[in-house]
Chains A and B, each alone.
Chain A
Amino acid sequence: MAKAHVYKRDHINTDEIIPARYLNTDDTAELALHCMEDLDMGFIKKCKPGDCIVAGDDFGCGSSREHAVWALQGAKVGAVIAKNFARIFYRNCINCGFYPIEMANATEAIADGDEIEIDYKKGVINNKTQKKEIKFKPLPDFAIEIINDGGLLNHIKNKK
């Protein structure tokens, strides 16, 4: 079961997810050490594999650096649930096989520390702590296909 780490903040940007001073590497494990560092120094310690980040509007705004997604993947974050996402980050997530979940009431329906379970295909988050189900619009089928293939390049390769 995944734990939710809630940041009641809009515009959490790529510099906060992975500061540019660490962009001199594209090594996922190394990037993971600095994941969310400029927003929350304690994040990497408290995040357990599969845990989710929950945030407000415009998550991932700023740079096109895919390093932001790699850092989250390296930190074994299961998914990011936000009210909405910045465009390039959203696209990068799908391309890397990582779930961006758009949910208008993200930070209201989920509290910090809540235990949640996500059904990506049905578009349902089961908030076990609050004993309620929250609906979200699942990604379109082609995006789920890309994610299930493990990212865009695997997807292209599989299609050939």
Chain B
Amino acid sequence: MSMTITEKILAAAARKNKVEPGDLIDAKIDCIMCHDVTTPAAISMLKEKGIDKVFDNEKIVVTPDHFQPAKDIKSAELHKRLDDWAKDKKIKNYYPLGRAGVCHALLPEQGHIRPGEVIVGGDSHTCTYGAFAAFSTGIGSTDLAAAIATGNLWFKVPASMKFVLNGKLSKGVYSKDVILDVIAKIGTDGALYRAMEFVGPALKYMSMEARMTITNMAIEAGGKNGIIGFDDTTKQYLDEHLKSKKTDYKVYQSDPDAKYESVLEIDCSKLEPMVAFPHLPSGGKKIGDCAGLAMNQAYIGSCTNGRIEDLRIAAAIMKGKKVAIRTIIVPATPEIWKQAMDEKLFDVFYAANCVISAPTCGACLGGFMGILAATERCVSTTNRNFVGRMGSPKSEVYLASPATAAASAIEGKLVDCRKYV
């Protein structure tokens, strides 16, 4: 009867004692994340089909983030449709502009993510929330509409792959480097349809912010979900962020004899800063093999690396220095923005000649706030470097940690951040 944590959560959501990889289940959904790109379409579909209701207005979290503040008339229309609907349906957890933030940073921060729950969102990086020992996966607009209306979705139970993170990261090497290394090793379809479960002693030294960077990018290996077990670090974060919200969560753990399709051991102490070259997140190279390549822009933000810890790391490197290329700092949520201001990180960024943006997904997906011209290169803390991802189809995106992006901003070329930390 042994099961992995993913199987246990899905079994409970399907009200079954046991599930196995390949089983088709109908799962109860605990939380639905809605943003400005995929939700307006879901709302229209529901209206059109005359299924104009929400299953539970307390289990839906709404925030515009991709194109907010509205970048053009069309995005303003999307925001209006989202806003009208959220008000009409009396969505309890609605974060309009001013409280809106990059969804995958906002939901955990505001206490909407609990262990043991099934979370879906109309965004592929919804897998981020698996860092909290929850099952969390991205869906499209039609699934989103079905989930909003019924509170249920069918899933195929994924087989699990285990990633054992041994050792401890050395100075200047971060969780971003771990996940870029993993994706370089297994490829962008290396975990296709599977659960990616991360375990091992290296996690003990990682904050929840750092862990979220890892689970965030599970989709970049094709994974259905990324998941990390519950420990003291998880508990402490939840104690601080759940506040008065529901705190009676259930903690599931993988059985010692649970079945894994594969096991990959990684010695984190031997990892180096990584840079994923265009045009796939699997294009990871060690900084030692690629330092010196000239860049035109640095971008520090996104649901992968736009959290306070990331901004602190970047500021520590930039302190007292000037950037050599356009550098854009995007705190992911209003809370992070305020905290960065209070900690005087903005002073550092200002003095270094960076520009600081409002919370938004911005240029990560080529929306606005730092679009690239043809032939330009950007070192970015984001999660995708597909063709045209950040602007011109002839531009190039290089994925890296906040430390690597900050250090590269100073020198205007890819550099080993370890000489600055």
Decide if B189 touches A57 in the complex (CB within 8 Å). Answer: yes
A139 smallest CB distance to B (angstroms): 13
Measured CA separation A63–B72 after assembly (Å): 22
Whether the Cβ atoms of A11 and B122 lie closer than 8 Å is no
| Of the residues A10, A57, A58, A63, contact of B124 by C-beta under 8 Å | A63
Stretch of A44-52, A64-72, A116-124, A128-136 on the interface side: A64-72
Given that A63-B124, A153-B51 are contacting pairs, would A86 and B366 also be in contact in the complex, using a CB cutoff of 8 Å? no
Cross-chain contact B139 with A91 (CB below 8 angstroms): yes
CB-nearest residue of chain A to B389: A15
- Tell me if B280 is interfacial: C-beta within 8 Å of chain A: yes
Which A1-57 residues have a C-beta within 8 angstroms of B?
10-11, 13, 15-16, 19-21, 23-26, 37-39, 57
- A64 and B139 contact, Cβ closer than 8 Å, known pairs A11-B280, A24-B74, A26-B44: yes
Query: Complex: how many Å from CA A16 to CA B386?
Result: 8
Cβ of B162 within 8 Å of any chain A Cβ, yes or no, is: no
Mark B120-143 against chain A: 1 for CB-CB distance below 8 A, else 0: 001110100000000000111111
Residues of A within 8 A of B96 (CB): none
Which residue in A11, A65, A156 is a CB contact (below 8 Å) of B189? A11
CB–CB B224/A87 < 8 A: yes
Question: Is A61 a contact of B189 with CB atoms below 8 Å?
Answer: yes
Q: Which residues on the B side are within 8 Å of A67 (C-beta)?
A: 37, 41
- Say what secondary structure dominates the interface of chain B: loop
- Bound CA–CA A154/B49 (angstroms): 7
CB distance A86 to B192 under 8 Å? yes
Given A24-B67, A24-B71: A87 in contact with B193 (beta carbons within 8 A): yes
Q: How far is the CA of A95 from the CA of B140 in the complex (A)?
A: 9
Of A15, A23, A92, the residue contacting B142 (CB under 8 A) is A92
**Residue B328, interface by CB 8 Å:** no
Complex CA distance for A38 and B74, rounded to whole angstroms: 21
Interface string of B389-411 (1 = CB under 8 A from A): 10101000000000000000000
A96 contacts the other chain (CB 8 A): yes
In Å, the complex CA distance between A113 and B284 comes to 36
Report A64 CB to chain B, min CB distance, Å.
4
Query: CB within 8 A of B388: which of A38, A91, A156?
Result: A38
- Chain B contact residues (Cβ within 8 angstroms of A): what range? 35 or more
Q: Choose from B138, B139, B150, B193 the contact partner of A156 (Cβ within 8 Å).
A: B150
Identify the interface centre among A21, A37, A69, A84: most chain B CB within 10 Å of its CB. Answer: A21
Measured CB to CB, the closest approach of chain A to B74, in angstroms, equals 4
- With CB as the reference atom, state the residue of chain A lying closest to B146: A152
B130 to chain A, nearest CB (A): 15
Contacts of B41 in A (CB 8 A): 26, 66-67
Known: A57-B189, A84-B192. A65 touches B37 (CB 8 A): yes
Chain B, 86-101, contact with A by CB distance < 8 Å: what is the 0/1 string? 0000000000000000
Q: Chain A: how many interface residues by the 8 Å CB criterion?
A: 39
In Å, the complex CA distance between A92 and B142 comes to: 7
Q: Are A19 and B222 in contact (CB under 8 A)?
A: no
Of B46, B74, B124, B393, the contact of A88 (CB 8 Å cutoff): B124
A5 to B398, CA, bound (A): 31
Per the bound structure, the CA–CA distance linking A41 and B370 in Å amounts to 24
Residues from chain A with a CB closer than 8 A to the CB of B44 are 26
CB distance from A59 to the nearest CB of B (A): 10
Q: Is A151 an interface residue (CB 8 A)?
A: yes
B188: CB under 8 A from chain A? yes
Residues of B near A157 (CB, < 8 A) are 49-51
A21→B366 contact, CB < 8 A? yes
- Assess A58 versus B222: contact at CB under 8 Å? Given A13-B386, A95-B143, A152-B146: yes
Q: A156: which B residues are within 8 A, CB to CB?
A: 49, 51, 146, 149-150
Assess whether A74 is interfacial by the CB under 8 Å rule: no
Across-interface contacts of B142 in A (CB, < 8 A): 66, 92, 95-96, 151-153
Residues of A within 8 A of B51 (CB): 153, 156-157
Closest chain B CB from A10 CB (angstroms): 8
- A66 vs B145: C-alpha distance when bound (angstroms): 12
Contacts of B124 in A (CB 8 A): 62-64, 88
> How far apart are the CA atoms of A131 and B280 in the complex, in Å?
37
Given A86-B192, A86-B222, A26-B40 contact (CB < 8 Å): yes
Q: Closest 3 A-B residue pairs measured CB to CB?
A: A95-B142, A66-B140, A24-B74
Contacts A61-B222, A67-B41 aside, 6 further interface pairs with beta carbons under 8 A come to: A19-B366, A20-B366, A21-B366, A88-B139, A91-B140, A153-B51
A-B contact pairs, 13 of them (CB 8 A): A15-B365, A15-B387, A24-B71, A37-B393, A62-B124, A64-B123, A92-B142, A92-B143, A95-B142, A152-B142, A153-B45, A153-B46, A157-B49
Partner-A contacts on B (CB < 8 A)? 37-38, 40-41, 44-46, 49-51, 66-67, 71-72, 74-75, 78, 122-124, 126, 138-143, 145-146, 149-150, 188-189, 192-193, 219, 222, 224, 280, 365-367, 384, 386-389, 391, 393
